[in-house]
Amino acid sequence: MKSILPLSTKFGANLITNPAIKSILPVCSWWEFEHYRKGKLIDAWEQKNVNTTEGLNHVLNVAFHGETPITAWYMGLFEDNYTPLVTNTYAVPGFTESEAYDEATRPAYVEAEATAKVITNSASKATFTISSTKTIYGAFLCGGGTDGNTKGDAAGGGTLFAASKFATAKEVVDDDVLMVVCSITFADA
């Protein structure tokens, strides 16, 4: 008795006529914080957060469209429980800036020359000497405008580049010191 086992093999092929090549250039900000009380480090933490569309458009327009660069950048703190969004702007940051520190103006963002796809102020950390009891929720990087270093200025026409909400709000008291580093990189953070 003969038995026939039906077997078949099917092959298919697709021709890709227009392959897509995608290149992704991540722009990330990495934040480092130190909290001192009476000269002693009581907390330190790191995190990434948001680069705004306003800030990234500025970078692109300077690099490729001939826009005038911002030559002075500043760091600030915010004092409300707000999670920064990419849509936030200098004029409408979404958060309330804290002015509860002794320094007369926002601390300058003093960056070193970029190396290994990173620019940072780690050699010159922004220092905030707290002037009253507050809860601080985060920090931001801004520049440009008419009064970029003025505490609380939102009408000066500046650029909000990045903002970072702390994972845990920080209770600060008079004479506490917060030190802030923002590293901007063209690599995954």
Asked whether residue 6 is domain-assigned, the answer is: no
pLDDT of residue 180: 98
Structural domain boundaries enclosing 136: 28-185
Query: pTM for the whole thing?
Result: 0.85
pLDDT of residue 186: 85
Q: Which residues of the chain have pLDDT under 70?
A: 1-25, 188-189
pLDDT of residue 18: 65
Rg (CA), the chain: 24
pLDDT of residue 110: 97
Asked whether residue 73 is domain-assigned, the answer is: yes
For residue range 49-92, list pLDDT tens digits in order: 899 999 999 999 999 999 999 999 999 999 999 999 999 999 99
Q: How many domains does the chain have?
A: 1
Paired strand residues for 178 = 35, 128
Asked whether residue 75 is domain-assigned, the answer is: yes
pLDDT of residue 188: 66
pLDDT of residue 22: 61
pLDDT of residue 189: 55
pLDDT of residue 5: 47
Asked whether residue 54 is domain-assigned, the answer is: yes
